[in-house]
Amino acid sequence: MRRPLSWVLGLSLLTLSFGCDGEADPVDGSVDGLDASADADATEPDAGPQPLPPCGTDSEEAAMACVEQSRYEADLTEIAQPRSPGTPHHEAVRELCATRLAALGMEVERHDYGTGVNIVGTLAGTTAASERVLLSAHYDSVPDCAGADDNATGVAGVLEAARVLASTEHARTLVVACWDEEERGLIGSRAYAERAGADGDDLRANLVFEMIGYRDVTPGSQELPEGFDLLFPREVRQIEARESRGDFLAAIGDERYSETVAADLVEMGARVGLPVISLLLNDGLLTSPATGDLRRSDHSPFWLQDAPGMMLTDTSEFRYDEYHCRGGPDDVEGLDPVFATQVIQASVGAAWRALSP
């Protein structure tokens, strides 16, 4: 443990263990069903990579094979500079998102909500265009920090996933977004989610990349808050079976809408040797004051609109000391591009399935 914590404090700090940045409004609710998330699926500790077919568009596995680590790394290197709102590089990354999505043939909106600008690309579906699948990441960083893991990895990952997913038509509509002002309190994603809720958007799956670039295979490198084993005993057993190595992807989502995509992420992760542990929260957990910190990332504004939301993360400071540049520079050199590529591959596979019901 990083510091002694009581059980209640461990509960309230759950999201810190799974890598989130912004603030979200507390929502009143009960704490019924606290054990429900213990039934979430996860890969077995010895899951290994499975062979993929050649790159193509005839299946989700073929699409996964189209993900290129070199493209991801090039974007990561370009993005990973300080980019708090108002800085030149913040604007440059915004333009990178816009131009890249437009080049993929997507209709691009600069969603100006007053204090910032989201970039939203849309590729209309063929037979179920009203149904949407969303992939996103926030493009701002905290001041004076390169924010390589937080969240240049997420933006670079979303752009590479978009390149693959936009290579062919899908039944459902693909939406790809770069959110602004996440570090200031989820302002950009909240503005979009509220508009989508008011417009009645039919969101079927929602994957949010939030720090996907750090892996540590050293035994004991994965920390957890005290009391975590009482809430998520199955997941803790799986982590301990791996000698508490920080080598898995955490997928935090809502039980009501995201169970299928969570299972697909676990399956697709196993295909490329990526352990995925999913934490699915029931309605009681989603609205409990005790788990308010679980809403501190860009998936949570969609929960407030009774829509799906799932955060994919490397667990932030409970594995990565350089989170927000607190323990040192959050730069590219400390990250694992192979791990991030596996995350992108698994996400492409899961999104491909969601786009083609």
**For 263-306, what is each residue's pLDDT tens digit?**
999 999 999 999 999 988 888 878 776 565 567 799 999 999 99
Residues 248-258 have a mean pLDDT of 95
> What's the rounded Cα separation, in Å, for the pair 346 and 340?
10
In a domain, 150, yes or no: yes
- Has residue 84 been placed in a domain? yes
Q: Residue 298, Cβ neighbours under 10 Å: how many?
A: 30
How many other CB atoms sit within 10 Å of the CB of residue 38?
17
In percent, the amount of the chain with pLDDT more than 70 equals 83
d(CA 213, CA 160): 14
- Complete DSSP assignment for 139-207: ----TT---IIIIIHHHHHHHHHHHHHTTS--SEEEEEEEES-STTTSHHHHHHHHHHHHHT-EEEEEE
30 assigned to some structural domain: no
pLDDT at 146 over 80: yes
Q: Please report the pLDDT score of residue 1 as a whole number.
A: 27
Which range of residues forms the domain containing residue 245? 7-19+35-355
* pLDDT for position 326: 96
CA distances from residue 315 to 21, 124, 221 in whole angstroms, order as listed:
11, 33, 11
**Strands ordered across the beta sheet of 310-313:** 107-112, 117-123, 172-179, 128-138, 202-209, 310-313, 249-254, 276-281
Per-residue pLDDT at 279: 87
Average pLDDT over residues 213-219: 98
Candidates 107, 128, 109, 127; CA nearest to 119 is 109
Is 90 contained in some domain?
yes
Give the residue-averaged pLDDT of 27-38. Answer: 32
Please report the pLDDT score of residue 38 as a whole number: 38
Which pLDDT score, from 0 to 100, does residue 286 have? 82
Residue 27 resides in a domain: no
pLDDT of residue 294: 65
pLDDT value of residue 51: 86
Higher-pLDDT residue of 17 and 125 is: 125
Average per-residue pLDDT in the chain? Answer: 87
Residue 268 lies in a domain: yes
Q: How far apart are CA 64 and CA 70, in angstroms?
A: 15
Whether the per-residue pLDDT at 207 is higher than 80: the answer is yes
CATH number at residue 241: 3.40.630.10
d(CA 326, CA 11): 23
Number of domains in the chain: 1
Cα angle for residues 233, 238, 241 (degrees, 5° grid): 120
2 is a domain residue: no
Q: How far is CA 51 from the centre of its chain?
A: 25
Q: Which amino acid is at 191?
A: A
And the tokens for 143? 């001041």
Residue 295 to residue 210: CA distance in whole angstroms: 13
Domain assignment present for residue 346? The answer is yes
Q: How crowded is residue 216: how many other Cβ atoms within 10 Å of its Cβ?
A: 17
Distance between CA atoms of residues 41 and 280, nearest Å: 9
